[in-house]
Structure 1
Amino acid sequence: MSPRSADRDHAPTVAAGPLVGTDAIPAWLRPLTDNVDGVTDSVNNRGGDRTRLVQAAFRRGSRPASVLVLFGGAFDSGDGHAPPGDADVLLTQRATTLRNHAGQVAFPGGARDPGDDYPVGTALREAQEETALDPDEVRVVARLQSFPVPPSGFDVIPVIAWSPDPGAVRAVDPGETARVVRVPIADMIDPAHRFQVQRTVMGGRVYRGPAFWVADMLVWGFTGGLLDAIFDTAGWTVPWDTDDVRDLADMLEKTGQR
């Protein structure tokens, strides 16, 4: 998600939950759309009371934004609630030449613009601008609760969507976006691709969170934490080594991200 100019007024309160009938949602996504509060609970339980206090304090000065969490794949998985073999999620990677957050991996999205049908319209507009996604090929199925992201100054509502085939997505502006990737869910939940990253300052830990190494990209921070919570809530998580903790600065240097 990249910053955009927008009014700083708070957006109207938006209720979380499904946006379409159950029959219109793939069975493998229903554990997520039926329990959107589970994502929030997963994030809060990871961070504890400190996370809740930071969220409450930060929201007062934040800007409304939304991101599109777009899952691709067959409607029927053929295996109950497990995602189908072709299931993927759409991610973008910022250009490594940018001054801020170079190489960062994110969901397509950004700040609410005046006149947006927020948050869904914002997420779809930004996704189209960043990835050439055709909104007509996307079925929006649910909204999650908002999450404050202090480093970017946004209060973000993730919009959950599905498409049997999002089509030929691409980086519309290479100066801003280096890559647009449909990452297989099977790769993301593979325990071999999962670990935690940690940042320390003066010997004290200031950040620790879940991360993924997929498609030659380090996925961490807001994006990595939200995906971790989504996978847990949807019941897709495969046990992985949470004791595998790697230094964030080292990982960013290796990947050219900052």
Structure 2
Amino acid sequence: MTEVPDWLERLAAQAAGITVPRYLRPPADGGRLAAVLMLFGEGPFGPDVLLIQRSSRGRRHAGQPAFPGGGVDPGDGGPVGAALREAEEETGVDPRGVRVLGTMPELYLDHSDNRVTPVFGWWHTPSAVHAASPDEVESVERVPIVELVDPGNRVMLRHPSGLAGPAFHVRGMLVWGFTAMVLDTVLREGGLERPWDPARIEDLPAEVVRMGLRERITPTPRIVTPRP
């Protein structure tokens, strides 16, 4: 069993007070309740976070890297229970090995009408993970934080609409959209971010655009003003 690192303790303690950008604030009512598990642990390359790659055959967010998660069911007791259940169903994570540290405010994704609560977890007793739900998940990765903060792995990704948001090239995955927005916030608020070049802009790959069109939804990238 490993101890929670100081940076994660501090981040979790202030998570509920993180300011949510206006375009991600939930409406007064409506929206499907959902949750994702941001599961941090101590891996062979230092601190890491668990990500999944969704199935390219999926109905929603096909082929996209993501945090384990999904809708809140009546028996979950809320976002924390939902995040742990979904992580177990999608990756085989044993919830008994996870210490829940806190939650971020709800984030609203208008293209899927989801009110998503990110849940912070510390993997004090790691269990083996795999694509436990092949129809929904193609692969599971423990992505080292050192790779996420590497300036060479960070870009701004431009959607055909012209809007751009943060993205990461890690472990053969292009992490973008909602997941990248949350990771960008976590790295910055946790004091882990290293200086990187937001003027390095790439276009969203054509195959990703095609999958999005197949789902008949339009992603809502983060509008970012490059920092000096």
TM-score where L is the length of structure 2: 0.84
- Pick from 199, 202, 210: which aligns with 1:246? 202
Q: Quote how far apart the aligned CAs of 1:250 are.
A: 4.0
Which residue does 1:113 correspond to in 2?
Answer: 73
- Pick from 6, 11, 15: which aligns with 1:36? 15
* Contact 1:31-1:233 within 8 A present in 2 as well: no
Distance 1:257 1:137, change over 3 A: farther
Measured in 2, the distance between the counterparts of 1:97 and 1:115 equals: 28
Q: How does 1:203-242 map to 2 (within 5 A)?
A: 205=162, 207-242=163-198
- Pick from 49, 64, 76: which aligns with 1:104? 64
Give 1 or 2 for the bigger CA radius of gyration: 1
State whether structure 2 residue 30 is matched by structure 1 residue 70: no
1:153-180 Cα offsets, whole Å, 9 max, x none, are 2101111000134221111122211001
Q: What's the C-alpha RMSD, in Å, of the aligned pairs?
A: 2.2
Unaligned runs of 5+ in 1: 1-23, 45-51, 75-83
Q: Quote how far apart the aligned CAs of 1:25 are.
A: 4.0
* Contact 1:109-1:123 within 8 A present in 2 as well: yes
1:103-145 Cα offsets, whole Å, 9 max, x none, are 1111001111012121111110111011010000111111111
Aligned residues: 210
1:80-101 Cα offsets, whole Å, 9 max, x none, are xxxx952110001111233442
State whether structure 2 residue 90 is matched by structure 1 residue 130: yes
Measured in 1, the distance between the counterparts of 2:61 and 2:190 equals: 29
Measured in 2, the distance between the counterparts of 1:54 and 1:110 equals: 17
* Contact 2:4-2:124 within 8 A present in 1 as well: no
1:49-99 Cα offsets, whole Å, 9 max, x none, are xxx156344x5321111110000018xxxxxxxxx9521100011112334
Distance 1:85 1:178, change over 3 A: closer
Q: Which amino acid aligns with 1:131?
A: T
Q: Quote how far apart the aligned CAs of 1:200 are.
A: 2.9
Unaligned runs of 5+ in 2: 213-228
* Contact 1:65-1:154 within 8 A present in 2 as well: yes
Distance 1:216 1:181, change over 3 A: same
Q: Which amino acid aligns with 1:247?
A: D
Q: Which amino acid aligns with 2:33?
A: P
Identity between Structure 1 and Structure 2 (%): 43
Distance 1:116 1:213, change over 3 A: same
Q: How does 1:158-173 map to 2 (within 5 A)?
A: 158-173=118-133
TM-score where L is the length of structure 1: 0.75
Measured in 1, the distance between the counterparts of 2:192 and 2:128 equals: 26
Measured in 1, the distance between the counterparts of 2:139 and 2:42 equals: 20
Which residue does 2:6 correspond to in 1?
Answer: 27
* Contact 1:31-1:235 within 8 A present in 2 as well: no
Measured in 2, the distance between the counterparts of 1:225 and 1:127 equals: 20
Q: Quote how far apart the aligned CAs of 1:199 are.
A: 1.4
